[in-house]
Amino acid sequence: MKKANVLNLIRYHIEENDISFRKEARIIAEEFYKMGDDELGEYVLFMLRDANHFVPQIDEEYDIQIPFTQKIELEKNNEPLPLPQVISEEIKGVINAISKNRRINKFLFQGFPGTGKTETVKQIARILNRNLFMVDFNNLIDSRLGQSSKNIAELFQKINETPHPKKNIICFDEIDALALDRTNKTDLREMGRVTTAVFQGLDKLDSDIIVFATTNLFKHFDKALIRRFDLVIDFNRYSKEDMLDIAEIILKHYIKKVDNIKSELRLFRKIVSLSDELIYPGDLKNIIKSSIYLSDPKDQYDYLKKIYKKITDDKFDIKELNKHNFTVREIEILKGLSKSSVALKVKELNLNE
């Protein structure tokens, strides 16, 4: 630590310049770390975490700039974010822990694409009325040797220097790059440096700053990285019944926005249940929304035909639909045939059995 650092601290204190004061204090902490005095370095950071000493010289509309991030505009969103109850309960716990300042601040959401990980982070930011900064991890990775780890170190430094840390949430969206390079066996030494930089960044993170990360490749992650997070939430816990309930919630939301569409919930659930695999909320939303908005206004059941074709690829004939307990009227709607011709075909099938 140099005399200039002490003089700067005094000057910033007198000027009530909180941003520069905190930045200078972190420089001093880093100097202690370099000297091998980790205990004193950590003490300085601890003191910073527990106090915002001054009123910052910024107004409430101050536009915070963090490199490698994009500030997400969280406009009021009335669209549903349906999740299985077991996941919803854990998310409520996260919101409660953050709002009560319970000193857990690093969360990892893992699961297949479309399970609602990123949208849940956005919803948490809305509920807590916090700014959300999204980090695209791929933008941090640089082909130049050693540059990726420098980018990560710079990012975490800037995150820790942000004024009013309790007003912000940082989301590392799809940090799969850490796992992808392990699975591809490409330049493991460089990725080792990147992983170490992430470890150090998470370890020195201001406890007032909330960080979320999302991934589709959890099983490939280094266990040491997983341990850096206070809580891991698995978004893959969907049952078929969850899928049907979520699909119904999404349908009810969008069907109100279009005229001349008739709700047929029983038939709709039958259609969705025909899927061989679970359809997660992201895909369900796209299927249902596009089918409703692009439906023929002269046909109040056209949206159901579109949903049926997108989910099944129209591979079910009358015989198969009959086996799945679709009524004559329901088959008529989906196949666009007359009720009499469907009834005749079903009668023939029953006679031949």
List pLDDT tens digits, range 40-92.
777 776 666 555 444 334 344 456 788 899 999 887 767 788 999 999 999 99
pLDDT for position 59 = 41
Domains of the chain with bracketed CATH: 3-49 (no CATH), 69-234 (3.40.50.300), 240-352 (no CATH)
Give yes or no for a contact between 243 and 279, defined as CB atoms under 8 angstroms apart. Answer: yes
Model pTM score: 0.78
pLDDT for position 49 = 54
Q: SS3 letters for the chain?
A: CCHHHHHHHHHHHHHCCHHHHHHHHHHHHHHHHHCCCHHHHHHHHHHHHCCCCCCCCCCCCCCCCCCCEEEECCCCCCCCCCCCHHHHHHHHHHHHHHHCCCCCCEEEEECCCCCCHHHHHHHHHHHHCCEEEEEEHHHHCCCCCCHHHHHHHHHHHHHHHCCCHHHEEEEEECCCHHHHHHHHCCCHHHHHHHHHHHHHHHHCCCCCCEEEEEECCHHHCCHHHHHCCCEEEECCCCCHHHHHHHHHHHHHHHHCCCCCCCCCHHHHHHHHHCCCCCCCHHHHHHHHHHHHHCCCCCCCCHHHHHHHHHHHCCCCCHHHHHHCCCCHHHHHHHHCCCHHHHHHHHHHHHHHC
Percentage of the chain exceeding pLDDT 70: 89
List pLDDT tens digits, range 212-228.
999 999 998 889 999 99
Give the residue-averaged pLDDT of 277-285. 95
**257-261 long-range CB contacts below 8 Å, 24 or more apart?**
257/292, 258/292, 258/293, 258/295, 259/297, 260/297, 260/298, 260/300, 261/292, 261/295, 261/300, 261/303
pLDDT for position 351 = 65
Helix axes 339-352, 328-335, angle to 10 degrees: 120
pLDDT for position 162 = 86
Place of tokens 């919101």: 95
Whether the per-residue pLDDT at 350 is higher than 90: the answer is no
Q: Whole-angstrom distance between the N-terminal and C-terminal Cα of the chain?
A: 90
Is 235 or 185 the better-scoring residue by pLDDT? Answer: 235
Residue 230 tokens read as 């206070």
Whether the per-residue pLDDT at 155 is higher than 50: the answer is yes
Label residue 334 by pLDDT band (50, 70, 90). Answer: very high
Label residue 244 by pLDDT band (50, 70, 90). Answer: very high
Is 209 or 190 the better-scoring residue by pLDDT? Answer: 209
Residue 213 tokens read as 């990360």
Label residue 182 by pLDDT band (50, 70, 90). Answer: low
- If you average pLDDT over every residue of the chain, what do you get? 86
Give the residue-averaged pLDDT of 258-283. 94
pLDDT for position 188 = 67
CB hemisphere CA count around 141 (13 angstroms): 16
List pLDDT tens digits, range 307-333.
999 999 888 889 889 889 999 999 999
Q: Minimum mean pLDDT among 30-34, 55-59, 207-211: which range?
A: 55-59
Percentage of the chain exceeding pLDDT 90: 51
Buried b (16+ CB within 10 A) or exposed e, 135-162: bebeebbeeeeeebbebbebbbbbbbbb
